[in-house]
Amino acid sequence: MVKNSLAGYERVVEFHGHSCIGSALGYRVALKAMEWLKANRSEDEEIVCIVENNSCAVDAIQAITGCTFGKGNLIFRDIGKRGYTFYNRNTGAGTRILENFRAKEMPGQSELRKAMFSGTATNRQKEEYKEMSKATINDILSAPDEEIIEMKPASVTLPERARLHETIVCSACGEKVMETRTVKTESGVYCADCVDRPVCN
């Protein structure tokens, strides 16, 4: 069992709302990142994470590393890969971690998964799938790093620190919008929703 895995994973479950395979994988990625960066949980922007997907794993990364959208140190690079780049601003160190776990398929698991995702699973099938998922989660939490993680050099530039921007009122809808997300025209300043239809209902 990975050191402190259960105590730390409880924080992930509380944050995410339930235990699942994705959150367990994200937890292992976050643990490795913090170990490699020699860092504590980010109170401000000390740690930066660039995530390449919007899976359950990202919630685990937020819970463990302290990187969040609100603080500006969690950045979504929407390319659908299981890659996560971490930087320590205090040291300049950075790494990209790929999650490469391959679960051992259990008898009947593929059919159960299809039934679950198609919405046709019976109550008994749901319970069976839940038990299989628990077993996979336990495997993830106890597996050695080399079965979960591939480390690579950081491939993107360390982003600038988050900045506060002026709030502008859209000339059409009257709603507040961050200045950097507005479009200025001769008739006014518009949000993304209104720029192509300057008269909002």
Dump pLDDT digits (tens) for 12-22: 999 999 999 99
What pLDDT does 5 receive? 54
The residue count of the chain comes to: 201
Are residue 149 and residue 189 in the same domain, yes or no? no
Are residue 92 and residue 176 in the same domain, yes or no? no
What pLDDT does 167 receive? 94
| % of the chain beyond a pLDDT of 70 | 95
Dump pLDDT digits (tens) for 140-160: 999 999 999 999 999 888 888
User: How many domains are there within the chain?
Assistant: 2
| In-domain check, residue 52 | yes
Whether the CB-CB separation of 79 and 96 falls below 8 Å is answered with no
What pLDDT does 107 receive? 83
Determine the longest span between alpha carbons in the chain, in angstroms: 65
Query: What's the rounded mean pLDDT across residues 36-52?
Result: 95
CATH number at residue 66: 3.30.1330.20
Are residue 147 and residue 188 in the same domain, yes or no? no
